[in-house]
Amino acid sequence: MGAGAAGGSVLTLSGSGVGGVLSQHCAICGDRATGKHYGAASCDGCKGFFRRSVRKKHEYTCRFSRNCIIDKDKRNQCRYCRLRKCFKAGMKMEAVQNERDRISCRRPSYEEQSNNGSGLSVVSLLQAEMLSRQVASLELGSEIDLSTKQIANINDVCDSMKEQLLVLVQWAKYIPAFSELTLDDQVALLRAHAGEHLLLGVARRSMQLQDVLLLGNNCIITKNCPGMFFYFLLGDGSMSVSL
C-alpha cells in the first residue's frame, strides 16, 4: 500500500499493458465502463486512480503475494495490484502525459482573452447565452394562442428533444472547463444531465400555461395526452448525444 513498506514488492511506473477489446465492463475492476481511458475500457474510478498514480509518480507495495483480487468492492485494498492490472489491461503512461500536455497548450488561449481572470471571456459568455436562446421559448408575461399550436405526436416530441439537445451540446462547447475534459467525459456528462435539461426547458416554456406543455418546436402536449408526456420523460434516455 504505502511506499517503502518492509517486505513489500515495489511497483514503479515503468510498465505497459497489453491492448484489449473495449467492453461495457471495466477491464480492471469489472465495474461499468464509461469509455476507453488511456488505452483500456475502464470505469471513472480506475481512470482517476491511474491518472493520479502517473502524475504523482506513486510507488505502491503489496503486503501479500502480488495477486490480490481487484474487483468493484476490493479495488481500493491494494494499490500495487490495481495499478499493475491497469498496465495489463492496456493503460499507458504516455496517454496521461499527452492529455496533460494538450490541456496545458489549450489553457493560455482562453486565459489571455479573459477579462475577469476566471477563464471565461465576455465573448464566450455572450456566445453561450445566444446559443441558449436558439430553441423557441415562451417569453414570460406574453400571451400564447394555443389554438394555433399543433398537438404533438411522437415525431414532434423526438424532434423537440433533438433540437434542444443540439443546443445543449453547442452551448457546452463554449465553456472552457468543459472543453478541457476528454471526449468520453464530455459525452458522459452531457448524457447524465440530458434528462434534467429537457425537463427544465419544457417547464420554463410552460410556466404561464395551464394543463399544457409547450415544446421547443412550438408543439403542445395537453393533459388529455398523458401518454405523450410519459414518452417525453422516458424518451430522453434513448436520445443520442454526440460531439
Task: Say if 57 falls within a structural domain.
Answer: yes
Q: Determine the distance from the C-alpha atom of residue 151 to the mean position of all C-alpha atoms in its chain, rounded to a whole number.
A: 33
Report in angstroms the alpha-carbon separations of 125 from 102, 143, 186.
23, 30, 19
Q: In whole angstroms, give the CA distance from residue 98 to residue 106.
A: 12
Task: Say if 168 falls within a structural domain.
Answer: yes
When the pLDDT of each residue in the chain is averaged and rounded to a whole number, the result is 74
Cell of 181: 475534459
- Nearest alpha carbon to residue 35 among 8, 155, 25: 25
Q: Is the pLDDT of residue 60 over 90?
A: yes
pLDDT in tens, 27-46: 999 998 888 899 999 999 99
Are 39 and 21 contacting, i.e. CB atoms less than 8 angstroms apart?
no
Task: Say if 109 falls within a structural domain.
Answer: no
Task: Say if 88 falls within a structural domain.
Answer: yes
Identify the CATH number of the domain in which residue 83 sits: 3.30.50.10
pLDDT in tens, 227-242: 666 565 555 444 554 5
Q: State the pLDDT at residue 23.
A: 59
Question: Looking at the structure, do residues 91 and 127 belong to the same domain, yes or no?
Answer: no
pLDDT in tens, 143-158: 667 777 878 787 888 8
Domain interval for residue 178: 122-138+145-222
**Model pTM?**
0.40
Task: Say if 185 falls within a structural domain.
Answer: yes
Q: In whole angstroms, give the CA distance from residue 51 to residue 120.
A: 26
Q: State the pLDDT at residue 88.
A: 95
Task: Say if 239 falls within a structural domain.
Answer: no
